[in-house]
Amino acid sequence: MMTLDDLRRLDPKDIGNWPALPKLGVLLLAFIGCLAASYIFDWQDQVDAIDTSKQKELTLRDTFLDKKKQAVDLDAYRKQLDDIEKSFGTLLKQLPSKSEMEALLTDINQAGLGRGLQFELFRPAANETISEFYAELPITIRVTGNYHDMGSFASDISRLSRIVLLNDIAMTQSPAGVLSMDAVAKTYRYLDEDEIAKQKKSAKDSKAAKK
């Protein structure tokens, strides 16, 4: 067995004549040094490239799974869009056209008269409020009668084939005991193609002006 003194007496210039055990130790250190140098100067870049590729693979796999899920859900999305379009079409049919507005105003008036109410005021607004696809027309009304008939009138309005909403309802009673109801009946109509085109042009011009 070699001692520390034996190791100190070894000639580093004559490694070939060293005993087997020290010679094996030097070879092991040289091998470890080569591995370390290879990792620092070559393998590290390759390891980093492999890690980057693995991360890219995970990202691509997540993207693929997301696209696959979208493709699977495409039919459901199409059906949902179709249902929305049908619902929108149903609502649109409840709005009168421009030519039908006069008949709708007559229906509102007749609903009150049919319940025995007296109209003291029935005043459509001078101008409509125009939105993207429809126009809103508020009608200020004042009717007199008994409480039960006014409730029936409000119920009849809600059951009209066209959309009419009663807003800002206020009930008052005169000193003589006459009951009055003030309200704003809002009704809506859909815009014709020319009006929709005009609205879109106006919105486009307004957007361009802001730029």
DSSP 109-168: HHHHHHTT-EEEEEEE-SS-EE-SSEEEEEEEEEEES-HHHHHHHHHHHHTSSS-EEEEE
User: 104: closest CA among 136, 127, 129?
Assistant: 136
Mean pLDDT of the chain: 77
Whether this model's pTM surpasses 0.75: no
> Which pLDDT value is given to residue 80?
72
pLDDT digit string, tens, across residues 136-176: 889 999 999 998 999 999 999 988 888 888 999 999 988 88
In terms of Cβ atoms closer than 10 Å to its own Cβ (0-12, 13-18, 19+), residue 189 is buried
DSSP label at 95? S
Specify whether the CB–CB gap between 103 and 132 falls below 8 A: no
Show me where the domains of the chain are located: 20-93, 98-197
pLDDT (0 to 100) of residue 144: 93
How far is 142 from 185, CA to CA, in rounded Å?
10
Give the pLDDT mean for 173-202. Answer: 82
Domain range 98-197, its CATH number among 1.10.3210.50, 3.40.50.12500, 3.30.70.60, 3.20.20.70: 3.30.70.60
Contact 160, 188 (CB under 8 A): no
Quickly state the pLDDT bin for 32 (edges 50, 70, 90): confident
Residue tagged 């059906």 (tokens): 79
